[in-house]
Structure 1
Amino acid sequence: MTLQHLLAAIARGNLVRQIIIGLVLGILFGVFFPQAAQSSQIIGTFFTSALKAVAPILVFVLVMAAIAQHRSGTEIYIKPILLLYILGTFLAALVAVVASFAFPTTLALVTSQVTQNAPTGIVEVLRSLVLNIVDNPVNALLSANYIGILSWAILLGIGLRHVGESTKSMLNDAAQAVTNVVRWVIRLAPLGIFSLIAVTVATTGLGELKAYGHLLMVLVGCMLFVALVVNPLIVFFKIRRNPYPLVFRCLAESGVTAFFTRSSAANVPVNLLLCKKLGLHEDTYSVSIPLGATINMAGAAVTITVLTLAAVHTLNIPVDIPTAFLLSVLATIGACGASGVPGGSLLLIPMACSLFGISHDLAAQVVSVGFIISVVQDSSETALNSSTDVLFTAASDKAMQDPAAAIGDRAA
Structure 2
Amino acid sequence: MQTLLLKWNQMSLVKRIFAGIILGVLLALVLPGASGVSLLGSLFVSALKAVAPLLVLLLVMSAISRHQKGHQTNMKSILALYGTSTFLAGLIAVIASFVFPVSLSLVQSTEDLSPPQGIVEVIKTLLFQVVDNPVNALMNANYIGILSWAILLGLVLRGAKDSTKDMLTNLSDAVSQIVKWVINLAPIGIMGLVFNSITTNGLSSLLDYGKLLLILIGCMLFIALVVNPLIVYVNIRRNPYPLVLTCLRESGITAFFTRSSAANIPINMRLCEKLGLDSNTYSVSIPLGATINMAGAAVTISVLTLAAVHTLGIQVDFATAFLLSIVSAVAAAGASGVAGGSLLLIPLACSIFGIPNDIAIQVVGVGFIIGVLQDSFETALNSSSDVLFTATAEYTKHRKEGREVLVKA
1:279 correspondence with 2:276: yes
Equivalenced residues, count:
285
Q: How far does the alpha carbon of each residue in 1:340-385 deviate from its partner, in whole angstroms, 9 at most, with x for none?
A: 8996211111111111111111111111111111111111111000
| Contact map agreement 1:308 1:352 (CA 8 A) in 2 | yes
* Correspondence for 1:146: 117
Instruction: Indicate how the Cα distance of structure 1 residues 315 and 244 shifts in structure 2: closer, same or farther if over 3 A, else same.
Output: same
Provide the residue aligned with 2:294 in structure 1.
297
| SS of equivalent residue, structure 2 residue 234 | helix
**Which residue of the partner structure matches residue 404 of structure 2?**
405
User: Among 265, 270, 295, which residue is 2:267 paired with?
Assistant: 270
- 1:349 maps to 2:346: yes
How far apart are residue 80 of structure 1 and its match?
A: 0.8
Distance, in Å, in 1 between the alignment partners of 2:365 and 2:114 is: 20
Match of 1:169 in 2: 134
Task: State how far apart, in whole Å, the 2-side matches of 1:395 and 1:264 are.
Answer: 20
Letter matched to residue 369 of structure 1 = V
Question: Measured at CA, do residues 317 and 407 of structure 1 come closer, stay the same or move farther in structure 2, by a change above 3 Å?
Answer: farther
Q: Distance in 1 between matches of 2:221 and 2:293?
A: 16
> For residues 365 and 234 of structure 2, what CA distance do their matches in structure 1 show?
39
2:233 corresponds to which of 225, 236, 246:
236
8 Å contact from structure 1 (residues 263, 340) kept in 2: no
Alignment equivalent of 1:95, drawn from 86, 92, 95: 92
Q: Does 1:218 align with 2:215?
A: yes
Superposition map of 1:170-189 within 5 A: 172=137
In the TM superposition, what is the alpha-carbon distance from 1:169 to its structure 2 partner?
A: 3.1
- Matches for 1:370-389 after TM superposition, within 5 Å: 370-389=367-386
- For residues 384 and 299 of structure 2, the distance between their equivalents in structure 1, rounded to whole angstroms, comes to 15
Partner SS for 2:104 = coil
- After superposition, the Cα gap between the structure-2 partners of 1:152 and 1:346, relative to the gap in structure 1 and judged at 3 Å, is closer
Instruction: Give the structure 1 partner of residue 312 of structure 2.
Output: 315
For 1:368, the equivalent position in structure 2 comes to 365
Residue 98 of structure 1: CA displacement? Answer: 0.6
Matches within 5 A, 1:67-146: 77-109=74-106, 146=117
Letter in 2 for 1:294: T
- Letter in structure 1 aligned against 2:404: A
Offset of 1:156 from its aligned partner? 7.4
Partner deviation per Cα, 1:22-47 (whole Å, 9 max, x = no partner): xxxxxxxxxxxxxxxxxxxxxxxxxx
The Cα offsets for residues 366-408 of structure 1, whole Å up to 9 and x where unpaired, read as 1111111111111111100010000000000111134553443
- 3-state DSSP class of the match of 1:108? coil
TM-score, normalisation: structure 1:
0.61
Work out whether residues 343 and 374 of structure 1, in 8 Å CA contact, stay in contact via their aligned partners in 2: no
1:331 counterpart = 2:358:
no
Unaligned runs of 5+ in 2: 1-35, 43-63, 143-196
TM-score by length of 2: 0.62
Matched-pair contact (CA < 8 Å) for 1:264–1:340: no
**Alignment partner of 2:336: what SS?**
coil
Q: Residues of 2 paired with 1:75 and 1:96: CA distance?
A: 35
Q: CA deviation at 1:152?
A: 4.4
State the Cα distance separating 1:109 from its structure 2 match.
2.4
Compared CA separation, residues 160 and 398, structure 1 to 2 (3 A): same
Q: Deviation at 1:176?
A: 5.7
- Partner Cα distance (2:92, 2:208) in 1: 20
| Aligned equivalent of 2:191 | none
Residues 240 and 106 of structure 1, relative CA distance in 2, 3 Å threshold: same
CA distances 1:175-207 after superposition (whole Å, capped 9, x unpaired): 769xxxxxxxxxxxx9xx99xx9xxxxxxxx9x
> Cα–Cα, structure 1 residues 406 and 13, in superposed 2: closer, same or farther, change >3 Å?
closer
The RMSD of aligned alpha carbons is 3.6
Alignment partner of 1:235: what SS?
helix
The corresponding residue for 2:12 is none
- Partner Cα distance (2:328, 2:380) in 1: 19
Distance of 1:379 and 1:276 partners within structure 2: 25
User: 1:308 aligns to what SS in structure 2?
Assistant: helix
State the one-letter code of the partner of 1:408: V
CA shift in 2, pair 1:95/1:156, >3 Å: closer
Give the deviation of 1:308 after TM superposition: 0.6
Deviations 1:44-100 (A, max 9, x none): xxxxxxxxxxxxxxxxxxxxxxxxxxx9x9996411101110110000001100110
**1:334 corresponds to which letter in structure 2?**
A
Matches of 2:319 and 2:72 in 1, distance apart? Answer: 31
Paired AA for residue 362 in structure 1: I
Identical pairs, percent: 58
